[in-house]
Chain A
Amino acid sequence: MSAGEKVLGIVATVVAALAIAAASQWSVRAGSDQALVRLSWRAEPIRVEECRTLTDEELAEIPAHMRRSEECTGLYVDYELRLVIDGREAYVDTIAPAGMRRDRPIYVIHDEPILAGDHEVTVRFSALLPEGYESDDGPAELEWSGPFPLAPYEVGLITLDADGASLERRVRAR
């Protein structure tokens, strides 16, 4: 092994080491005008039930200790999520209750990229109820609307308030 090859070996080692260090901290910059509208909450969906009164004949076929005069079937309804930014419909989606049997809460998680600055934002979260169905489970529609200023790199979070009764903009979680 010649001295030249030894030097080349050292140079190759240094280059490889520097390449590892550079690739280990590869800088990725976000544009300075970037911001985000984030929608995130958990909600109990409304349950739509259909009940009917059992006939005497049907009741007679049921063991005495299991007899109930009313039999109900139902399901948790889907919700429509609509996000309007500066009068433009930015995002629309239908969200189903979670779980294989759709019997879990509804989870809303959506990030909408937007330019930093002053905006008008409207968020509408409405249960897709059968026509004419009146629910007493809770509000069938939640809405938040208002000015939405966003600083560069800011994430504006809209979520449910502590009571779960209305939407609010949360500036900082902690």
Chain B
Amino acid sequence: MTVTPVRASQRGGRALLARFDALFNRLYTWRFNPLYHSGALVVGCFAVLVATGLYLIFFYRIGAPYDSMERIAGQAYTGRWIRTLHRYASDLAVVAAVVHAFRMGIQNRTWGPRALAWISGLVLFGVFLVCGWTGYVMVWDAHGQLIASEGARLLDVFPIFSEPMARTFVGERDMPSAFFFLNLFAHIAIPVGILLILWIHVSRLARTNVWPPRPLLWGMIGTLTLLSVLWPATLGPEADPLRIPSEVAIDLFYGFWLPWSRSVSPGVAWITILAVGAALLAVPWLTRPSAASETVPSFVDPRFCTGCEQCYHDCPYEAISMVPRDDDRPYAVGLVDPSKCVSCGICAGSCAPMGVGPRGRTGRDQLPEVQAFITEHEPTRDDVVLVACARTAAGWGLDRFAEAPILTVTCAGSLHSSVVEYLVRAGAGGVMVVACPPRDCWNREGVTWLEARLYEGREAELKDRVDRTRLRVVYAAEREHARLTAAVETFRSQVRALDRVLAERGIRIDTTCELPAVSVAETDGP
């Protein structure tokens, strides 16, 4: 199989990210790993920007922008650090957005139903930058002047203005106050647009959680506030079109392009910008798997559907709806919208009668797989088996870990609880389910539903007859080998210390989970 440059770069990026994930998990724990919450951190920063911006707007004067900024910077107890916090939060938002996009890109969460989120995310990022530029122009110091004049130089390539915009900034005449009014208007109006695009960005997600965990959110705000107090942002010299600023403090997060664009012609600059933009917009098409390896969407087999609505509730992408049946059964039947389904398989784990899931990965398909696994590995009472999410196991590249055999599932959330029961009753001393940390679940809620099914009685629940002491769920990122090895060893020693559990005796799995007479292969999927 040939490896395209896109796949190779994804592989390289994933290896890099895995190392950072493991490191940050050690430093901040997986609950508060900022890399897992990069998208939510952007929203957190946006909230800080709105709050601090509301304060700053009271002191801003479009008739004397620089003077008003000087007054704000002169407020030692409020304005100075609030303005700085406004700036640092906008900087952190850019960093977090880039990390978030990088993460989604290298995890291949960009194509098919996720293309809308990718493209709207790029638009969101672009609009965020524009909003930042208008903010710097508001200050009207040397940095703001640089952004305005360079931006005007680039925009003047397009014959859309009645006269070149750059003429506004050459010093031939006074700056029109209408310019600052329009700029302020844009700086306030664009965030409204950002909210709208954010709504589109997450529109295909169920139970959207756009906020980081509170400790992380307040930790971020506290750190930025402390930084703002200790290292307040400087105010450059007032913009003067008839003077080259001897020194400009450029915000690299928003002005990263300035040194480069000033050294090339506007035509070259635009060709480069459009090429980069087109390449980023093409990511959903570039990263789409080949037809042979593309995963198939879920389907509902109406013969097994009891109308319980669990798959409808559990789907993290709102891809399943309940529709009237076309037979005489008195309840609705699930229907999967293939255009929204990312083939995560979480519905397979939700269905007690095993009537839903991607073809080949439903609960009914998992049972023969676990049977084959048991035949191959013959688990013993004094040892454990690992059931690992493919994202984690793929990083190991092993069929055994810490001497425990590994049964791989595409997502821990797609694991049917019957598989766990099957393993325990087949003789495994313990079953350890290795899942991605919850906020890094590539399918959003796989880990959440897995735990609820195994421990909290959520459909399709793990039956009470299964001894929970023989079950563990651990979260591990790809590179957390040492931590996971320790967890396996600990669990193994606990399992070996267990007495035989009498409650497990005498239960025959083939009478509890009897396969129906009709094979799934004969059903009509989408």
- Which A residues are closer than 8 A to B by beta carbons? 1, 5, 8-9, 12-13, 17-18, 20-21, 23-30, 32, 34-36, 38, 40-42, 98-100, 104-105, 107, 109, 152-155, 157, 159, 170-174
What number of B residues sit within 8 Å (CB to CB) of A? 42
Verify B249–A25 contact, CB threshold 8 A: yes
Contacts A5-B27, A24-B233, A174-B174; is A153 near B245 (CB within 8 Å)?
Answer: yes
Contacts A20-B91, A155-B242, A159-B172; is A25 near B234 (CB within 8 Å)?
Answer: yes
At the interface, yes or no: B18 with Cβ under 8 Å from chain A?
no
The CA of A56 and the CA of B241, in the complex, are separated in Å by: 60
Q: A26-B252, A155-B243 are in contact. List 14 more A-B contacts (CB 8 A).
A: A1-B29, A9-B28, A20-B91, A23-B251, A23-B253, A24-B253, A25-B249, A28-B247, A30-B246, A38-B170, A40-B170, A42-B167, A99-B159, A109-B167
The CA of A173 and the CA of B172, in the complex, are separated in Å by: 6
Verify A28–B259 contact, CB threshold 8 A: yes
Among residues of A, the one whose C-beta sits closest to the C-beta of B146 is A28
Among residues of A, the one whose C-beta sits closest to the C-beta of B156 is A109
B216-232 residues with Cβ-Cβ distance < 8 A to A are 219, 223-224, 226-227, 231
| Shortest beta-carbon distance from B48 to chain A in Å | 13
Among residues of B, the one whose C-beta sits closest to the C-beta of A12 is B27
- Which B residues are closer than 8 A to A by beta carbons? 26-29, 87-88, 91-92, 95, 159, 162-164, 166-167, 170-174, 219, 223-224, 226-227, 231, 233-234, 241-253, 259
The CA of A38 and the CA of B29, in the complex, are separated in Å by: 57
- Residues from chain A with Cβ under 8 Å of B251 in the complex: 23-26
Q: Is the interface of A mostly helix, strand, loop or mixed?
A: mixed
Q: Which 10 residue pairs spanning A and B have beta carbons closest together?
A: A9-B27, A25-B249, A40-B170, A173-B171, A23-B252, A153-B244, A155-B242, A21-B231, A17-B227, A40-B172
27 contacts between A and B (CB under 8 A): A5-B27, A8-B26, A9-B27, A12-B27, A13-B219, A17-B223, A17-B227, A20-B88, A20-B91, A23-B91, A23-B253, A24-B233, A25-B233, A26-B251, A40-B167, A42-B163, A98-B163, A98-B164, A104-B162, A153-B243, A153-B245, A155-B171, A155-B243, A157-B170, A157-B172, A157-B242, A173-B174
The CA of A12 and the CA of B251, in the complex, are separated in Å by: 22
The CA of A135 and the CA of B226, in the complex, are separated in Å by: 69
| Shortest beta-carbon distance from B337 to chain A in Å | 41
Among residues of A, the one whose C-beta sits closest to the C-beta of B173 is A173
Contacts A155-B241, A157-B170; is A5 near B253 (CB within 8 Å)?
Answer: no
Among residues of B, the one whose C-beta sits closest to the C-beta of A172 is B242
Verify B243–A154 contact, CB threshold 8 A: yes
Among residues of B, the one whose C-beta sits closest to the C-beta of A152 is B246
Verify A30–B170 contact, CB threshold 8 A: no
| Shortest beta-carbon distance from B471 to chain A in Å | 24
Contacts A24-B233, A25-B233, A25-B251; is A5 near B244 (CB within 8 Å)?
Answer: no
Contacts A17-B224, A109-B167, A173-B174; is A24 near B246 (CB within 8 Å)?
Answer: no
- Residues from chain B with Cβ under 8 Å of A34 in the complex: 244
Verify A107–B164 contact, CB threshold 8 A: yes
Verify A28–B243 contact, CB threshold 8 A: no
| Shortest beta-carbon distance from B26 to chain A in Å | 5
- Residues from chain B with Cβ under 8 Å of A21 in the complex: 88, 227, 231
Verify A29–B164 contact, CB threshold 8 A: no
Contacts A20-B95, A21-B88, A153-B244; is A105 near B27 (CB within 8 Å)?
Answer: no
The CA of A34 and the CA of B183, in the complex, are separated in Å by: 30
